[in-house]
């Protein structure tokens, strides 16, 4: 009899242990359920720059415990420019009902924002989101959007200052922008024009949207001496960066660019944030959102450092004597 009782107690103990383990197993399974991230990148899929962004993003995710195929699924869409392709890509991502979306640049962010006011959005490479009306403040973005800024509009004149520094003879500067008359473009151009007046440089904005626009704008501008070029950061200029660099070389225009990948393609000088690092930072915010934090409570972060990259070979071709001030602060010199 005692043997039967002992066996029964062991069985009850075993069953009790299993029952107690079930909630723990259920919680572990819930914690490990597949999460879903959508990423909308403004460049083309085969662009080395955008591939580097995606790799850095996933590496940071993995360092935070998120492995593609195990506990997270990352779906990418590549806009390859602006316009209808961006709208379609944003709609496709929203249709997948991801837990969070990452978008780079103002046009891609706005395309996603038009599709959802509930799915959390983390943006990168967006200038002055407060002035653009995207968030009410950096410290308290509110709503479903937060992220990492590129620059504030009043600071846009720094690109013209650097151009004048490396090419002091410049008295006319062509500024390539997507839309110089509305919203962000207008605020940026006004800041550059203010600096131009203080430096004695005439600022000439040019609207660019396609390859033919660059050919026409640069070709018609470069026929007089003491000309220079400022390329503003946007999807259109990044997509056509090799063409812009080639045109600047053909017309012997000193030029200042908004990203290092222009300088790597042969451009003279870039003053920029680290775009790849912003995708790493975005992964950190995505991790926090997936673990329960709300975008409204995550402050929008401004860049703390700008990097200068100089293409010395291009400077020599243009016959420019690079000032010591630029050499001393250059983070990278391409020979």
Backbone angles phi and psi of 327, in degrees to 5:
-60, -40
* Tens-place pLDDT, residues 27-46: 444 456 899 999 999 999 99
CB burial readout 269-283, b (16+ within 10 A) else e? bbbbbbbbbbbbbbb
200 sits in the region (left: phi over 0; alpha: psi -120 to 50; else beta) called: left
Residue 213 has pLDDT above 50, yes or no: yes
Residue 11 has pLDDT above 90, yes or no: no
Residue 14 has pLDDT above 80, yes or no: no
What are the tokens at 40? 């909308």
| DSSP-derived 3-state class of residue 41 | strand
Confidence band (pLDDT; 50, 70, 90) for 9? Answer: very low
| DSSP-derived 3-state class of residue 127 | coil
pLDDT of residue 4: 45
Q: Which residues contact 83 (CB under 8 A, 6 or more apart)?
A: none
Do the beta carbons of residue 120 and residue 100 sit within 8 Å?
Answer: yes
**pTM value?**
0.86
- H/E stretch holding 102 reads strand 100-104
Look over the chain and give the mean of its residue pLDDT values, rounded to a whole number.
89
Kindly state the average pLDDT of the residues 176-196: 83
Q: Which residues contact 53 (CB under 8 A, 6 or more apart)?
A: 41, 104, 275, 276, 279
């Amino acid at each position: 009899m005692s043997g039967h009782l002992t066996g029964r107690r062991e069985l009850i103990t075993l069953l009790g242990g299993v029952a107690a383990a079930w909630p723990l197993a259920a919680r572990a399974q819930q914690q490990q359920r597949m999460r879903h991230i959508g990423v909308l990148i403004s460049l083309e899929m085969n662009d080395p720059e955008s591939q580097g962004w995606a790799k850095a993003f996933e590496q940071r995710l993995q360092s935070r415990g998120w492995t593609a195929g195990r506990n997270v699924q990352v779906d990418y869409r590549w806009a390859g420019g602006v316009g209808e392709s961006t709208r379609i890509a944003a709609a496709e991502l929203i249709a997948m009902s991801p837990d969070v979306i990452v978008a780079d640049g103002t046009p891609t962010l706005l395309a996603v924002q038009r599709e959802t006011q509930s799915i959390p959005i983390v943006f990168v490479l967006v200038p002055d989101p407060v002035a653009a009306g995207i968030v009410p403040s950096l410290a308290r973005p509110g709503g479903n959007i937060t992220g990492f800024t590129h620059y504030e509009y009043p600071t846009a004149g720094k690109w013209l200052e650097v151009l004048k520094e490396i090419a002091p003879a410049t008295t006319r500067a062509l500024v390539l922008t997507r839309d110089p008359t509305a919203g962000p473009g207008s605020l940026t151009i006004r800041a550059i024009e203010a600096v131009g007046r203080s430096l004695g440089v005439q600022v000439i904005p040019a609207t660019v949207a396609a390859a033919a626009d660059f050919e026409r704008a640069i070709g018609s501008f470069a026929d007089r001496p003491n000309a220079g070029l400022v390329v503003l950061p946007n999807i259109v200029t990044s997509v056509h960066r090799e063409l812009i660099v080639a045109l600047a070389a053909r017309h012997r225009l000193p030029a200042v660019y908004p990203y290092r990948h222009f300088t790597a393609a042969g451009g003279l000088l870039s003053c920029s944030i680290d775009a790849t690092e912003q995708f790493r930072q975005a992964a950190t915010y995505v991790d926090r959102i997936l673990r329960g934090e709300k975008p409204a409570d995550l402050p929008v972060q401004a860049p703390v450092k700008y990097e200068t990259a100089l293409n010395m070979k291009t400077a020599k071709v243009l016959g420019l004597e690079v000032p010591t001030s630029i050499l001393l602060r250059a983070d990278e010199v391409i020979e």
